[in-house]
Amino acid sequence: MSMHSPRAADYDGHHITVSADDGVPLAVREFGATDAPVTVVFVHGHCLRAESWAFMRGHLLETWGEDTHMVFYDHRGHGESGNADPSTYTIEQLARDLETVLRTVVPTGPVVLVGHSMGAMTVLAYARLHPETIGTRIVGVGLISSAANGVTRVGLGRLLSPPAVSSLRAAVKRAPRAMQASKHLSRRIFEPIMRDATLGTRKVSPRMLAVATAMLNDTSLLTMASFLESLIAFDETANLHRLGTIPVLVLAGSADIMIPFAHSVVLASQVDDAELVRLDGAGHSVILERAEEVAAAVVSLVARATAAMRGAGPDYGPECGPEYAIAG
């Protein structure tokens, strides 16, 4: 247990604001001691927010307490972070925002990155932009309910043809500001999808459905539409080999029809040290629906990462330095 001042005494965490490279404010929350041996950074999905990890975070706090530093943040245009020019609503920019969060909040020490859906895509883009960090600063990666490419070929993504998405984005941009930010319309559009697709085939409590739907509805139609073009063009297949030097968790639900499980099989098959976890009956919001099981898989990932650091000896990673190696 760290002897330094903890930051998780407050159940709500320690709130800070980080300024992105173009000045957009990013809302960040920290839990656990900042001088813990390892930091886990959680990157949320499209039209969600950092609180989508809340159920999982509860289980992780029970397991780790102060001994692991956890960082959660809202993407630009999501949650409590600031809005930006819609032209910046791309996965590439989200990867740059992730780098800003790391540089500001976790300037030193080993990091495990865990992303859900678009958040996992952000992690893959980060690995391409900053390959020198993989195996040095970044010691483990978790990819949940995601894909390296082809999200428009199977599942609900087949409805997202590039012309249709471009037309939607143009229409939303032309709409009055009140319509761009409408939550009532998005509720009518997405509530049945949340019920039937995102939460899979298992019976889900009304409370869980309400939480998931409310988080999605927090995001404006302009943000939703603007990111879709980046999602359908996303392809990091050629860069998956960059993760071959570190432990990787690939996890998804068998009933995910937004990004079907087959995508996770492909991801895991192209990474050397990948553990593939399939949660039967779970949908795209597996981090809500099966929070305890996903948390256990993340705990296992971090254990694998720290064990690999021990095995690498005191000089593990030029950016970590001997003071950040985990004692055997």
pTM of the entire structure?
Answer: 0.82
Closest by Cα among 104, 75, 106, 74 to 90: 75
Tens of pLDDT, residues 102-152? 999 999 999 999 999 999 999 999 999 999 999 999 999 999 999 998 665
- Residue 229's pLDDT is 81
- 219 DSSP β-pair partners: none
- Residue 7's pLDDT is 42
- Residue 228's pLDDT is 82
Please tell me the distance from the alpha carbon of residue 131 to that of residue 218, in angstroms, as a whole number.
33
Contacts within 8 Å (CB) and 24+ apart, 162-171: 162/229, 162/232, 162/233, 165/225, 165/228, 165/229, 165/232, 166/229, 168/225, 168/228, 169/86, 169/225, 169/226, 169/228, 169/229
Whether the per-residue pLDDT at 321 is higher than 70: the answer is no
Please tell me the distance from the alpha carbon of residue 112 to that of residue 247, in angstroms, as a whole number.
9
25: Cβ–Cβ under 8 A, 6 or more apart, which residues? 17, 18, 19, 81, 82
Tens of pLDDT, residues 272-297? 999 999 999 998 889 988 999 999 99
Please tell me the distance from the alpha carbon of residue 17 to that of residue 25, in angstroms, as a whole number.
6
Confidence of residue 263 (pLDDT cuts 50, 70, 90): very high
Task: Kindly state the tokens that stand for 200.
Answer: 């899979």
Q: Hey, where are the domains in the chain?
A: 14-309
Superfamily of structural domain 14-309: Alpha/Beta hydrolase fold, catalytic domain (3.40.50.1820)
Backbone angles phi, psi at 87, to 5 degrees: -65, -20
Closest by Cα among 270, 213, 218 to 77: 218
- Residue 219's pLDDT is 75
DSSP element (H, E) containing 174: helix 162-174
Strands (E), 190-261: 248-253
Handedness of CA 234, 237, 238, 241 (dihedral sign): positive
- 276 DSSP β-pair partners: 250
DSSP element (H, E) containing 19: strand 14-19
Whether the per-residue pLDDT at 78 is higher than 80: the answer is yes
